[in-house]
Amino acid sequence: DTVLTQSPALAVSPGERVTISCRASESVSTGMHWYQQKPGQQPKLLIYGASNLESGVPARFSGSGSGTDFTLTIDPVEADDTATYFCQQSWNDPFTFGSGTKLEIK
């Protein structure tokens, strides 16, 4: 299975720029997607196809990458962005998810 590796946690101040990385154990082309999950809620799609902003998601969120290295950027960060962010690949079977990056806003 394709393993997706994310750093476990980050802490930033409001107004700053934050990048969350996801590295795949094999190429996933641009079949990478990003989700935000707040406690007690279901995940919410932010970015699909590595760099496409889901409808209704603020333009502060952006994604980049292809192959094995991907980045989710939030600029500027707001207090409401406190959440865990997951990457998910759909290029290889089975779909797999990263373990999540917990973002704390200081």
Partner 1 sequence: QVQLQQCGAELVKPGTPVKMSCKVSGYTFTSYVISWIKQTTGQGLEWIGYIYPESGSTGYNEKFKGKATLTVDKSSNTAFMQLSSLAAGDSAVYYCAREGAYGYLDYWGQGVMVTVSS
Q: What is the contact surface with partner 1 in residues (CB under 8 A)?
A: 31, 33, 35, 41-45, 48-49, 54, 86, 88, 90-91, 93-100
Nearer to partner 1 by Cβ, of 46 and 105: the residue is 46
Residue closer to partner 1 by CB (options 43, 60) is 43
| 7: DSSP letter | -
Closest of 44, 35, 38, 40 to residue 98, by C-alpha: 35
| 101, 84 contact by CB (below 8 A) | yes
State the nearest-atom distance from the C-beta of 64 to partner 1, in Å.
Answer: 16
Q: Closest distance between partner 1 and the C-beta of residue 52, in Å? A: 9
Residue 88, strand partner residues = 33, 97
* Residue with smaller CB distance to partner 1, 71 or 88: 88
Cα–Cα distance measured from residue 11 to residue 44, given in angstroms and rounded to the nearest whole number: 21
